[in-house]
Amino acid sequence: FAKNKIYTYIGEILVSVNPYRDLQLYTEKYIADYRNRERYERPPHIYWVADTAHKTLARFGQDTCILISGESGSGKTEASKVILQYLAHNAAFGAGAAPAGSRQSRSIDRQRVRAQVDRVAEILIQSTSLLEAYGNAQTTRNDNSSRFGKYMDIMFDFKGDPAGGSMRNYLLEKSRVVHQQAGERNFHIFYQMLAGLPETERKRLGLPQGSLRDFAYLVQGGCAALGKEDAANFRKVTQAMDSVQFSSDEKDSCLRVTAAVMLLGNMEYEADPEDRSNSSVRVKSSCRQAVAQLAGLLRVPPDGLVKALTSRRIVTASDSVDKAYDLPQATYARDALAKAIYDRLFNFVFEKVNSALAAAGHFDSDGDKRRAIGILDIYGFEIFEINSFEQFCINYCNERLQQLFIELILKQEQEEYEREGIQWE
């Protein structure tokens, strides 16, 4: 590690240590060095993993899967991006074979396939900025920690070119929307919007020009300053939305809903003076204007929004009745609404990426010739002072993955030692 050798092999597993700096290990020269090479021909590198997966698929027609596991901050998300970069560059390196026909028709067909391959590769790379904005956050261990799990299926045609793909997300850490631990931030997109939106857009969305302290949901962890790269990253997000073919209405919807979640955290309650028992609440009079703004962003009637924030409907077999919330219940309902809205927004963004991949894909009439490389990237093992249910699930998942590695790899090594009569403990 002191000599910048951050990779080593244990059987089929590549072990890496995060250097927390750019070592220039992912240039085009390195891509060329590892293309179509056997493991013993080059020093350990993540490009060997990506190249082996691609060769297995292209030569033997076998689906392959790359599992990325490790503790928080170990570099899993960067590893998945490096693998995508390699596969996209490999596609750009080799143009697919054209079917039989005239020289002109072969040339036209090759150009068409080349354009489709480039488009799929572009979406895979560009979507990373978009998904990181909505699904990543700064933690005490990692400035760009994935707070969701992601599984990608990259489909390839019989020539080995990317032909489409799909993604699935798991266990978004919704609790981060309303609460962050000391020294941590909420999801990146909130800060990127505040740093990158023009003043006219902020006014239209009802976002005040003050500090982060104007937004209760953004300062739970005590981080009250925007990051240096938030504005630049917001520009990348808007470019990624264009690349994934968000319509202008869809982009506006994402901004409106994200702004609504920020404003929802500022909703405060007071005792309802008409309730003599003081057991029910109403939205504070100082928040009435914010309620109107919030209802406009969510495209719902203000009265309906207030009712949803201050009461619930109890349905029985024969009747239904509205029951007012007390203060703890109203606060819980507000936070639950914010988490549910953000979760649906995140799923919408994921579906847009999948739709773009499906639209950009090209497939042969013979579906049996399609093969896939799967990439699993889940957020890492971590123990907080207060652990969310999602973190508990992801820690369990990481433990199971570790057991899988032990079963598949270490036992293989031990069996090989036994066959060769090598003593081991």
DSSP letters for 169-209: EE---GGGGT---TT---BHHHHHHHHHS-HHHHHHTT--S
Residue 227, exposed/middle/buried by CB under 10 A (0-12, 13-18, 19+)? middle
Residue 263 contacts residue 297 (beta carbons within 8 Å): yes
DSSP type of residue 381: B
Q: pTM score, two decimals?
A: 0.86
Q: Which domain holds residue 133?
A: 7-98+105-263+336-380
Is 76 labelled as part of a ligand binding site?
yes
- What's the confidence (pLDDT) of residue 108? 61
- What's the confidence (pLDDT) of residue 410? 77
153 lies in some domain: yes
CB atoms within 10 A of CB 37: 16
How far is 232 from 67, CA to CA, in rounded Å? 31
CATH code for position 247: 3.40.850.10
Q: Per the structure, how many domains does the chain have?
A: 1
Is 73 labelled as part of a ligand binding site?
yes
320 lies in some domain: no
358 lies in some domain: yes
Is 71 labelled as part of a ligand binding site?
yes
Render each residue's pLDDT in the chain as its tens digit; 425 residues.
Answer: 889 999 999 877 899 999 988 899 999 999 999 999 998 999 999 999 999 999 999 888 889 999 988 888 888 888 998 998 898 887 656 544 444 455 655 566 566 666 767 777 788 888 889 999 999 999 888 888 889 988 999 888 877 777 888 899 988 999 999 999 899 999 999 999 999 999 999 999 999 877 788 899 999 998 878 888 999 999 999 999 999 999 999 999 999 999 999 999 999 988 887 776 656 788 888 888 889 999 999 999 999 999 999 999 888 888 888 888 999 999 999 999 999 999 999 999 999 999 988 877 655 544 556 789 999 988 778 787 778 787 788 889 888 888 888 887 778 788 888 899 998 77
228 lies in some domain: yes
423 lies in some domain: no
Is 222 labelled as part of a ligand binding site?
no
Is 41 labelled as part of a ligand binding site?
no
How far is 86 from 125, CA to CA, in rounded Å? 11
Residue 240 contacts residue 130 (beta carbons within 8 Å): yes
- What's the confidence (pLDDT) of residue 137? 93
Is 74 labelled as part of a ligand binding site?
yes
Pairing type for strands 64-68 and 371-377 reads parallel
Is 421 labelled as part of a ligand binding site?
no
How far is 262 from 207, CA to CA, in rounded Å? 9
**34 CB contacts (<8 Å, ≥6 apart)?**
42, 45, 47, 48, 51, 86
Nearest to 53 by CA among 80, 28, 87, 77: 87
Is 77 labelled as part of a ligand binding site?
yes
Question: Strand (E) positions, 272-421?
Answer: 281-283, 311-315, 320-324, 371-377
328 lies in some domain: no
CA angle 124, 388, 184 (to 5 degrees): 70
Nearest to 156 by CA among 107, 106, 120, 108: 120
Catalytic residue annotation: 72-73, 77, 142, 145-146, 380, 382
312 lies in some domain: no
How far is 278 from 271, CA to CA, in rounded Å? 6
How far is 162 from 116, CA to CA, in rounded Å? 9
- 3-class secondary structure per residue, 126-177: HHHHHHHHHHEECCCCCCCEECCEEEEEEEECCCCCEEEEEEEEECCCHHHH
Residue with tokens 């020294």: 183
301 lies in some domain: no
